[in-house]
Amino acid sequence: MSGRVPEKYQSASEIADLVTTREISAVEILDRYLNQINEHEEDVHAFNLVTINEARAAAKETDRLIVEGEKPGPLAGVPVAIKDNLCTKGIPTTASSKILEGWKPPYDATVVKKLKEAGATIVGKTNLDEFAMGSSTENSAFGPTRNPHDLSCVPGGSSGGSAAAVAAGFAPIAIGSDTGGSIRQPAALCGVVGVKPTYGGVSRYGLLAFASSLDQVGPFATSVKDAAIVHEVIGGYDPLDSTSIKQASNSFVQVIDEGVNKLKVGIISELMGGIDGITHEVIEQTNKAVSALSDAGAQVEEVSLPAALYCLSAYYLIAPAEASSNLSRYDGVRYGLRVDGANLKEMNVNTRTEGFGDEVKRRIMLGTYALSAGYYDAYYGKALKVRRLLAENFADLYKDYDVLLSPTSPCTAFKLGAKVNDPMTMYVNDVCTIPSNLVGHPAISIPFGSGKDGMPIGVQILAPPMKESVMYQAARTLEQASQ
């Protein structure tokens, strides 16, 4: 079986078509991507683990099914990289933390299971900021990931390994998680498409929790269409996830090319210079995206989201508070690292001291303080009020507008080490993406131009809950305009 050699950035849908029609085998596809990994992974460090043997077995099984006349699924033979905070049965899952050293989950996350059922070939587990806490993938216990566009720069975070894997041509599709922008921000910095679905629209079963009311799993891709295809595969109700939405998923691919004619688009003024840290060149490219939507027939107007000014502060109370609860399970008793002590308490302290990195410790302490007696109402309680106010702001806007638009990241990719010692400066990288997480709404980042440094810039489309169809239409229009 011989066929076309896939290009570095070949689309997932085309690969699936070629494999299904036997123009090329899934094994041949896999080998091409493994060669790319072998050549460049040492420089990029997108992966914590490349699962060569498991991937080859999966590719062979896909080819066998096709030869026997069976349908392998919409992602037949498509290599997919998985963020290393999603459980993979019998394969190490570390969340890029020493504290999970040696742990192999006894089950697959629902998203991983669905990808396998769709015919995808899982090629490895990608690097991330430890327990998804960070915006640069420099907080990993296994070292930083580098941006494929410039190896001296960060890829963003926390899903930096997944974004870099797609940007470097290691896989046409990758899966990440988004708690405060951890899919969209690295997508913007690496020049790929990244999607945060509606909270509850994609199962979180098997995702190692950071902040349970904020975490959401979603895809990275080289095109809006590919992202929509993968979103359809991994989405839908899951009884194993208590927050999963019992609602039939819409088809995104069918409507993706319907355009934006007569759609009303709101440009969030607070995220177009109303908050410090958003660079002029990012605003300039976002304004070009606004013009592109207007030229395509959309009605575009500036709108106000007043609570956006307080989102960063609210998020960095709510997320650490939930993290302080979720990460208490890592105690050296049940799984992962254990550092012995004279008694149980000392063993717990020793294990966590050695197992957790500085950023994780910082957020656990911040969250525990915010929840403590005497401070709950002053900090955590007020943050929840901001969250409620933000939800009301969004609800008012979506009465009149179909989608909203803003920059994805306030700047292009910065140099490795530039912000490591200044947590507040690092946290500002999430200022544009956090609002969607706080209210559980979907959002997508699309590459749209570049800065003076030649590094990619991303533009973000936000939509009401479970209204991803219109979000994908607007994103596809911007993608065509940028090309």
CA distance 233 to 24: 23
Extract the tokens encoding 35: 């060669």
The CA dihedral of 329, 333, 334, 336, to the nearest 10 degrees, is 90
CA distance 296 to 446: 17
The CA dihedral of 96, 97, 102, 108, to the nearest 10 degrees, is -50
**What residues are labeled active site?**
83, 158, 182
Neighbour count for residue 333 (Cβ, 10 Å):
12
Specify which residues 217 forms β-bridges with.
177
CA distance 68 to 407: 48
Neighbour count for residue 5 (Cβ, 10 Å):
10
Extract the tokens encoding 161: 């390994």
